[in-house]
Amino acid sequence: MRRPEPLYRAVIVFARMLFFANGYRFTLTGRQHVPKRGGAVMAINHTGYIDFVFAGLGARKSNRWVRFMAKKSIWQHPVAGFFMRGLKHIPVDRHAGAGALAAATEQLRAGEIVGVYPEATMSRSFEIKELKSGTARMARDAGVPILPTIIWGAQRIWTKDVPKRLGRTGTRIAVSVGEPIHVGPEDDIAEVTERLREVMKEMLDEVIAAYPEPHGDELRFHPARLGGTAPTYEEAYERDRSDMTRKKDQFTRKTA
């Protein structure tokens, strides 16, 4: 019997009130792919700071709660940390990630759905970046499927390099959950990771094709490959590399 989650339920009720107040309009597809019981890794593309708020909606039809992996620093905030602990999310130390992978795998074996960003960092180009292998590794070690999941529209609310728009925007949010990718004990992790990326790229194109065509300022939230004015994949990579170098230097100075 599934345990009651009063805090999680209260958070969802509050979030839905905010969604209504902000006029968000949702398109939810593929929710039947979320298992009603047993573990699964929900692999989510990462285009905005609040992707995870919408990704959990994909699991509600199956009455499931998603435990998200997120950077450890959030747990240090007095308010956010309270909720992260209460909702049983999983802290990730980017300088020592093995512990987070072990904790997530344990949750999966216990029958939980764990939400991850296999791209690791946000995609400035809004394309699917190269994926880290942790998603496939957790799924294989825990003996659970991967649920490729696409969120589209969240970047219009709050993303990198663009002022956030948290007021009443009427933004359309698409959430699509793909067919489970099953990982066997003998499957090659690199091959599974590349297969997941190809599936997510195909799903992203399908979701964008069904989304209202952008015009004017909205083009900055649309991939350059499809006529938008977002950074190209290569431009985004260079910006990411610059960010990583800066953060690495800051970490080195801090720990020196």
Q: Would 86 be classed as within a structural domain?
A: yes
Task: With respect to residue 115, please indicate whether it lies within any of the assigned structural domains.
Answer: yes
Within a domain: 3: no
Identify whether 60 is part of a domain: yes
Per-position DSSP letters for 2-63, written without gaps between them? PPP-HHHHHHHHHHHHHHHHHT-EEEEE-GGGS-SSS-EEEEE---STTHHHHHGGGGGGGT
Q: Quote the pLDDT of residue 1.
A: 45
Rounded to whole angstroms, the Cα distance separating 154 from 27 reads: 12
Residue type, 246: R
**Sheet of strand 113-116, all strands in order from the earlier edge strand to the far edge:** 25-29, 172-177, 146-152, 40-44, 113-116, 66-71, 90-92
CA distances from 68 to 84, 89, 151, 207, 229 (A): 9, 5, 15, 23, 31
CATH number for position 47: 3.40.1130.10
Q: Is residue 252 part of a domain?
A: no
Domain-located, residue 253:
no
Predicted pLDDT at 94: 76
Q: Could you read off the pLDDT tens digit of each residue along the chain, which spans 256 residues?
A: 456 699 999 999 999 999 999 999 999 999 999 999 999 999 999 999 999 999 999 999 999 999 999 989 999 999 999 999 999 999 998 777 789 999 999 999 999 999 999 999 999 999 999 999 999 999 999 999 999 999 999 999 999 999 998 877 789 999 999 999 999 999 999 999 999 999 999 999 999 999 999 999 999 999 999 999 999 999 999 999 998 888 777 767 777 6
* pTM, entire model: 0.93
| Six token digits for residue 137 | 């590794």
Structurally, the chain folds into a number of domains equal to: 1
pLDDT, position 37: 96
Flag whether 255 is in a domain. no
Q: What domain range is 198 assigned to?
A: 25-212
Report yes or no on 124 lying in a domain. yes
